Amino acid sequence: MLDEEKIRNIDKLSFDEIADLTGQSSNIYVNDSFPFTINLTLKGLNVDTLIRELITLLKTKGHCQRTQRLDAHLRVILANLIKGEEVYQQRYPFYSRDPNTYRYIRRYNPLNINFKPLISCIDGLDKMKFIKNYIGFYIRKYRRGKQSRIVMKNGLMTLLEKHKITKEQLFTLPIDAIRLKDNKNLLTDYKDTEDINKKRRVLEKHNKLLAKSNIALSKSADTHRSRIVDFSNHAYHRIFSQNSFTLHGRFYGPWWQSLKSHERKHIKIDGKPTIELDYGSLHVHLAYSKLGMNYGQGNDPYSIDGIDTKFREVIKLATLTSLNMKNAKYFSQTMTKRLQEDGLYIPNIPYNDIKNAILKKHHSIKEFFFSGVGLELMYVDSCVTEYIIKKFTSLNIPVLSIHDSYIVAKPHKDLLIKIMTSAFRYNKLKSIPVIK
């Protein structure tokens, strides 16, 4: 019988504990893994020879009856495994075995990767002991689980060495930078409009500028960096949610978004040191702006009378959580989980008291709490980011966005402050936060 308490806290378990819990081998459900990428492939004549050899082996052993489309799928699998070994230093790509995950639209799937041939190739390679396939699990009651992982074994490593396959042969095909997800958080198709095309052109110009810019970490950064970083991705994309182009819309993608704030201090743009500025208490100000009110820059939205200031980060998390949740039913459970994830102290104060204190402090925008307004606010902050990106791109100056914060070379600090301020006025937002 599964240990319910362990399941609830599965993200905190060690590898061995997860192994004991699930019956799987240890050291596999690595939190520092990376998602399987369907637009990553391998190119080269030596790759062609290897793929033909693998297809012959799969057919001979009876692991893949159909050979149609195996070529493209094997290339993608090998590319992800090589990236895990060579770029991420033995990190494992994780993938889904849910057919619904592979309802990819062509604009997101340039190699036409499909569920059946992909799974057939993975299972076939596993049976031939070229890879180890660790099947994931999901416990619906607790909404906890881990996706499947694949790991390269010695037999495949030998084949790659034999054919002289290198990481330099990895190739990423571009996919649409404007991405829409449905109510199940799956990518879905949409009809292009002039507004969407405008959004796409903003990204294309921005990404083109970033591609020719020298964006790197200083030599001393390795002592501050806590994770392995794939420096190959400089391009942004935008993700919209729930079948709507007025929900979410934030910018994702480049390698610097994977860094922690103290690590980002070591970024250099074209050899120059950088500075990062952000909006203070952004979503609270956006909520007040939504009702045409100005909260005021001198007021701290996360300071509550009667609650020690040392719990400010807790109040901040609780406030933002309340704005994002659709109802208050699981507020306590959600808070406990997020405080643990963020490494924050859990105060000896009932969550209900914290919730009521927040509602009292922000009674003017009470209607937005536990309303699921978060995606609407994200869309507004993405419009602010879009304005900033457009302005800097027009000046041929690189700017790096991390949602509501922005990095530029230090000589452009004053310009960034000016543009961040004008972005609020342009979007007709009345409550302007402090820029820090």
What ranges make up the beta strands (E) of 43-192?
93-95, 131-134, 137-139, 144-146, 148-152, 170-172, 178-181, 187-188
Residue burial 153-184, b: 16+ Cβ < 10 Å; e: rest: beebeebbeebebeeebbeeeebbbbbbbeee
What ranges make up the beta strands (E) of 280-419?
400-402, 405-409
Q: What per-residue confidence (pLDDT) applies to 303?
A: 93
Specify the pairing of strand 148-152 against strand 137-139. Answer: unpaired
DSSP state of 85: I
Burial degree of 21 (CB within 10 A; 0-12, 13-18, 19+): middle
- The 10 Å Cβ neighbour count of residue 206 is 22
Are 167 and 232 in contact by the 8 Å Cβ rule? The answer is: no
Q: Which of 36, 29, 153, 26 is nearest to 94 (CA)?
A: 36
Residue 306: CB partners within 8 Å, gap ≥ 6?
A: 357
Helices (H) and strands (E) in the chain, counts: 14, 17
Supply 176's token pair: 């649409």
DSSP state of 402: E
Domain boundaries, the chain: 4-172, 178-282+375-426
The C-alpha angle 416, 422, 427, rounded to 5 degrees, equals 130
Are 76 and 118 in contact by the 8 Å Cβ rule? The answer is: yes
d(CA 225, CA 222): 5
Residue 279: CB partners within 8 Å, gap ≥ 6?
A: 285, 384, 404, 405, 420, 433, 434, 435, 436
Task: Decide: pTM greater than 0.75.
Answer: yes
* Sheet bearing 178-181, strands edge to edge: 187-188, 178-181, 237-240, 248-252
Which backbone phi and psi does 143 adopt, to 5 degrees? 50, 50
Strand partners, 178: 238
Please tell me the chain's helix, strand, coil percentages from 3-state DSSP, rounded to the nearest 5: 45, 15, 40
Q: What per-residue confidence (pLDDT) applies to 221?
A: 67
pLDDT in tens, the chain (436 residues): 456 566 566 666 655 566 566 555 444 444 568 889 999 999 999 999 999 999 999 988 887 766 568 999 999 999 999 999 988 887 889 999 989 888 878 899 999 999 999 999 999 999 999 999 988 877 666 666 778 889 999 999 999 999 999 999 999 999 999 999 999 898 999 999 999 999 999 999 999 999 999 999 987 666 455 567 888 889 999 999 999 999 999 999 999 999 999 999 999 999 999 999 999 999 999 999 999 999 998 889 999 988 888 889 999 999 999 999 999 999 998 998 888 878 787 778 888 999 999 999 999 999 999 999 999 999 999 999 999 999 999 999 999 999 999 999 999 999 999 999 999 999 999 999 999 9
d(CA 270, CA 398): 9
Q: What per-residue confidence (pLDDT) applies to 338?
A: 87
d(CA 241, CA 410): 35
Specify the pairing of strand 170-172 against strand 148-152. Answer: unpaired
d(CA 312, CA 298): 16
Sign of CA pseudo-dihedral 253, 256, 230, 235: positive
Q: Which of 434, 299, 288, 301 is nearest to 358 (CA)?
A: 301
Strand partners, 70: none
Q: Decide: helix, strand or coil at residue 259.
A: coil
Are 250 and 382 in contact by the 8 Å Cβ rule? The answer is: yes
What ranges make up the beta strands (E) of 253-298?
267-269, 272-278
d(CA 2, CA 5): 9
